[in-house]
Structures are given as structure tokens and as C-alpha cells.
Amino acid sequence: MEKKHRILMSEKAIVYFIMTIIVPVAGEFRFYPLQGIFRVSLGTPIFLFFQLWFKNIRSAPAGCAAGVSVVLFRTLLIELSSHTQYKEAMILCFPALFYYLVYGWLFHVCKVRQNLRFPLLAGLLTTGIEIISSLVEIVIRAALYQDKITLSGLLLICLVAFIRSFFVLGLFYIIIFSKVVKAEEALQTKNEKMLFHFSNLMVETVQLKKSLRNIEQLTKNCYGLYNFSKNVNDLIAKRALEIATEVHEIKKDHQRIYTGLVELMKKDETSDYMSIDDILAIIVSSNNSYQHFSGKKIKFAVTVCGKHPLYNAYFLLSAINHLVTNAVEAIEKSGSITLTAGSQLNLLIIKITDDGPGIAERGRKLIFQPGFTTKFDSAGNASTGIGLTYVKDFIEHLGGTIELDQHTKSAKTSFIVALPIDRISEKGGI
């Protein structure tokens, strides 16, 4: 805590130091609308921006620091440029100190930072603060130099204060808005990644549930073999019982993993249901990045026909994204992928079409069989060939179907997925 406090204090000191340099220098970029009584410069906008942006500095001390630095800087410039004595130059510049003192104090009293959620109110407050601070400086200058204050001069002060305050606040809100947009884009990207990870977990959960059923059946078969062989061969019976016990342990381990995955998905707070347009946009965005990473040039096209309810994003991402990724991998260098979504009776129909090399006729009947693959790495090693098998199992788990549609006259390959709307929509659900 003490180290953190020292860091904050050093950062605050740096901000004060930079402000006491920039504000006086910016103040020399000015003009005199009231014939010498009052000056309009960039010092005030810079000072206001420091108050808005750096919330860890205190307004009243900042006003004091800025005022002192402005007076000293202007005094030094007058003394060097016109050979005026130091005391005379100091008296000439002294009223500017009160301007920044009053400005910093009023900024604190009016709680401008707390009202930044209301832009119009913040603009009116800063305008009023600048007007009052300017009037204090003008009154002091008028008392010292017997200058007159005119109505037109007062109106000009109000106009300049209004323009400067709203200009600075506008710039401040634009910068804040750009930061919010970037943060929102980063959050959207993060959510998209979470959606993909979660959809992949769902696919694995379905497969794990299937494995549990297979393991249960295998355990029963082993135990049946044990009962059958214990009266025939004790050695075989003993070994069958050992295998049954080992398989049962594997089942318990799988059951624990399955339960953990289910609980994890229940605790997920990301929105489950999205429009079909948004789901397909996420799929295209992800695979667009993938095709750039793979050094390919692929054009994506999405068409959504008819009206659709909100669908479970995880289910559709799990069912469709793998097919689109396969299409990207199938295209060698350049091509196009088309996604079409429509409805027929109570079915959501999604068609994924690519203009890759297609699938040989002898492989079309085996495309969904475990172990079948058309993918080979640079060393000539075949893929595992279980991706489409997983997708088919997952889609059938949802009560849907998937089929390959490829005409001999065209090299285009299409996968058509049909899913029951009442099982994947917000109104139905599983």
C-alpha cells in the first residue's frame, strides 16, 4: 500500500509539473478583444482539459500552481523583451493569478467532474466558471489601471467562455467515446472467443455423454463375459472382471469430467440466445481471420431469408462453425463461401457452399464415417477424420440432420443442416 501511494504521489507530481509548463506557454498564444484589459489565450482550454482528464489532481491546488507559473512566466518574458523592471512586470501580470485561483476553486466547488455524465450541465458549469474567473481578473485590472468595463466587453467574455468551454468538453467527450468504442470492440472480440470456446465445450460434452453410454455398455459386456466364463475358465473370468473394474473406473472419471463441464456451462453468464444474423456474422468473422492467417483470399456471402426467433448461439456455433472452417481449409488459394439460412416448416435450414476442389465420388458415402479424411499435412500425414463425425453426432443429438449436396456438373460442395426450431430457439430450448 505504501509503495502504491508513493507511485500515485509521484504521478501526481509529474502531472502538476507538466501542467505548470504547458499552461503558461499555451497562454502566450492569445489575442486582446478588449483593447488591453482582457486577453483570450489557449491557457484556459489547456488548464480545463487537465482538470477533466487527470482526475487524481486537486482543482484548487492546480489552479494555484497554474496561476503562479503563469505570472512568473509572463513576468520573465516582459522583463526580457521590454527591459521592464521585475516588480513592475510582476504587478502587470499579477491579476492572472486570481483568474486561475478562482477557476480552480470554483471547479472544485461546482463538482464538475461528478457531473460529466451530463454534458450540457458540465458545459454550462465550466462556462459560468470561466465567466466569473474572467470578471474577477478584469475587476482587479480595472482597479489597478483605472480601465473601464463595457457591456460589449462583458458579452464578448461570455461568448468566448461559452465557445472555449464547449470546445474543450467536446474534444474530451470525443476522446472518451473513442476509448469506449475500442473497449467495446475488444469486449466483443473477447465474447466471440468465449462463444467459440463454449461451443467447442458443448460439442465435447455431447461426445463425452456418448462415451459414457458406450463405457456403460462396455462394462456390462465385460461383466457378462465374466459371468459366462467363470464356469469355463477361471483365468479368463478373472481377467474379464479386472477389465470390467478398470472400465468402471474410467466411467467414474468421465462422469466427474462430464458433471464439471455441465456445471461450468450453467455458470456461464454470456447471452445464450442471439439472432441468426449475429451468429452467422461471428462465424464469418472468425473464419475470415482464419483465412487471412492461412494466406488465402476467400470471399464470404451470407443470406438470411424470412423471420427467425433468437437461437441458442452455442448450439449453432457448434453445429456450423466446423463446417465453415472445413470449407476454408478445402479452398487452396482463393474462392468463395456462401452461407444461406432459411426456414421450412419447423426446421432451420442452413446451407454452407464452397467452390473448393469438391469431394471425390467414392468418398461421398464415407464422408461422415470415423477415420475418413481428405486432409493431409505438409508431411503427407492424414488428419484423424473425426471432425465431421462429431458434427453429425452433435446435430443428431439436437434432433437435426446433415447431408452432403454435390452435383457432378459442379465442383461446388454444399452441406445442408436442418435443425428443429423448437429445440434450438429461445422459446423452445433444450
Condensed to tens digits (0 to 9), the pLDDT of residues 139-162 reads 888 777 766 777 777 888 888 889
pLDDT tens digit sequence for 233-245:
778 888 888 887 8
- 3-state SS assignment for residue 113: helix
Tell which wins on pLDDT, 356 or 4: 356
Name residue, grid cell 465435447. Answer: 204
Q: Which of 177-191, 283-297, 355-369 is predicted least confidently?
A: 355-369
Mean residue pLDDT of the chain comes to 79
DSSP-assigned beta bridge partners for residue 376: 382
The whole-number pLDDT of residue 381 equals 35
pLDDT tens digit sequence for 379-407:
433 333 336 777 888 888 889 999 887 66
The whole-number pLDDT of residue 59 equals 87
Which residues, 6+ apart, have CB-to-CB distance to 102 below 8 Å?
Answer: 63, 132, 133, 136
State mean pLDDT over 62-73: 86
pLDDT tens digit sequence for 5-23:
565 667 778 888 888 888 8
Handedness of CA 424, 285, 293, 179 (dihedral sign): negative
With a pLDDT cut of 90, the percent of the chain lying above it is 11
The whole-number pLDDT of residue 313 equals 79
The whole-number pLDDT of residue 271 equals 55
Question: Looking at the predicted structure, is the pLDDT value of residue 212 above 80?
Answer: no
The whole-number pLDDT of residue 342 equals 93
The whole-number pLDDT of residue 417 equals 93
Tell which wins on pLDDT, 37 or 221: 221
The whole-number pLDDT of residue 44 equals 85
The whole-number pLDDT of residue 425 equals 85
The whole-number pLDDT of residue 404 equals 84
Task: State phi, psi for 369 to the nearest 5 degrees.
Answer: -80, 140
The whole-number pLDDT of residue 139 equals 85
Instruction: Return the closest-CA partner of residue 162 out of 185, 129, 193, 139.
Output: 129
Using pLDDT thresholds of 50, 70 and 90, give the confidence band for residue 37: very low
Instruction: Return the closest-CA partner of residue 417 out of 397, 396, 403, 398.
Output: 403
Given a contact cutoff of 8 angstroms between Cβ atoms, the answer to whether 202 and 270 are in contact is no
Query: What are the DSSP calls for 23-39, one per residue?
Result: HHHHHTSEE-TTTTS--
The whole-number pLDDT of residue 430 equals 47
Angle between helices 313-330 and 151-229 (to 10 degrees): 80
Instruction: Return the closest-CA partner of residue 207 out of 424, 394, 429.
Output: 394
With a pLDDT cut of 70, the percent of the chain lying above it is 79
The whole-number pLDDT of residue 25 equals 85
State mean pLDDT over 43-65: 86
Instruction: Return the closest-CA partner of residue 344 out of 397, 402, 420, 403.
Output: 420
State mean pLDDT over 65-76: 85
The whole-number pLDDT of residue 158 equals 87
pLDDT tens digit sequence for 102-137:
998 999 888 988 888 888 999 999 999 989 988 888
Torsion angle, alpha carbons of 222, 224, 226, 227, to 10: 170
pLDDT tens digit sequence for 312-336:
877 887 788 888 888 888 888 888 9
Query: What are the DSSP calls for 160-216, one per residue?
Result: HHHHHHHHHHHHHHHHHHHHHHHHHHHHHHHHHHHHHHHHHHHHHHHHHHHHHHHHH
